[in-house]
Amino acid sequence: METELDLSGLGFTTISRLGKGGSATTQVVRDSADGRICVAKCVLLDTLSKHHQELAKQEVFLLQALRHPYVVTYCESFFMDGTATLVILTEHCEGGDLRRLILRTAGSASRFTEDQVMMWLSQIALALQYIHGKKVLHRDLKASNLFLDKNAAVKLGDFGISKVLEGTADFAATLLGTPYYMSPEVCCNELYSWKSDIWSFGCVLYELCMLKRPFESEKLPVLVHMITNDLYDPIPDLYSDGLRSLLCQMLTKSAAARPFADEILDNSYVHSYMAKLDSLAPDLSCGRTPPGTPPATSRAPGVFAVTGTPPGTPPGSQKLVSCSEQSSAAARAASGGALVLD
């Protein structure tokens, strides 16, 4: 289905196209009003189920509420009248995503230094500490959802299937996420919470060290068995015991045994890297509009800003997040189908 959207009538010039799927495209655009460069994610809502339409809208509300140097910055959003298209504008991270960098590094037969891995680990841990403190469960943390700015600092993005939990002791029950990074509790269709994001974080850390994912298979049932039962191959000797220990804690099969993000940041080995970050940390304002500021006004007739209460926000009395829908990954697991995902 054709999903390209011409934003030139709204004052944007397309610089490049980043990706295209059945219901969405992403492209790098320049705003003619101020010259800023953004990423425009254009979602054709009428191609999605009601549930996934709500998830797309929820991403806007989450991005509006998040403000942190290691989280991708929200710019603005609007609906295009007559096309049922939601456009989400976020900052452009010039360095691309971490997955592509990992693949390039693997192709060049080189490795990331421990200092670089630990700096990224510290930045991701800070981002997770922040969103978890906001009661936001990412649910799709992976290398391709971590983006690099011009200074090679990493930023967490793509909150398309994130979930707002009512409290720190709450759980979610929907099978979502990219299978390679799914935690054992998600694979077993059990309740999950913040520690599931930590498992995915551990998968990214492993990928940075090994230039491959800890568990890989083209068949989803085989992958699920590996995640829930198998051990990962050890990382190279060039990495320290301190890094190995962190990885072991994050990729522990038991969710209860995994650390929270703030416990990772409290790790004595991480402290020295945190000191380096303190001297390099960008301004917390990140050049974005403070939370609570009304969305931008319409750029042209037929364009509407996204406003209102975040869809799916749990009521105060609800302590368990559940959903009747399962992802396509669940369906493939039941049927033994092939896995084709990034």
pLDDT at 73: 92
Catalytic residue among 6, 97, 115, 140: 140
247 vs 202: CA distance, rounded Å: 6
Mean pLDDT over each residue of the chain, to the nearest integer: 79
Choosing among 3.30.200.20, 3.50.30.10, 3.40.190.10, 1.20.140.160, the CATH entry for 8-91+284-311 is 3.30.200.20
Which residue's structure tokens are 């090679």? 152
Top CATH class of 98-280 equals mainly alpha
Q: Give the annotated binding-site residues for ATP.
A: 41
134 vs 118: CA distance, rounded Å: 24
pTM: 0.78
Q: Any idea what the Cα angle at residue 203 is, between residues 17 and 270, rounded to 5°?
A: 105
74 vs 38: CA distance, rounded Å: 9
* Active-site annotation holds for 278: no
pLDDT at 156: 95
Which parts of the chain sit beneath pLDDT 50?
1-3, 166-175, 283-342
Q: Give the annotated binding-site residues.
A: 41
Which residue's structure tokens are 């995915």? 200
Comparing 8-91+284-311 with 98-280, is the CATH topology the same?
no
Write down the domain spans for the chain.
8-91+284-311, 98-280
Residue 111 structure tokens: 């490795």
Nearest CA to 249 out of 223, 271, 222, 270 is that of 270
pLDDT tens column, 87-132: 889 999 999 999 999 999 999 999 999 999 999 999 999 999 999 9
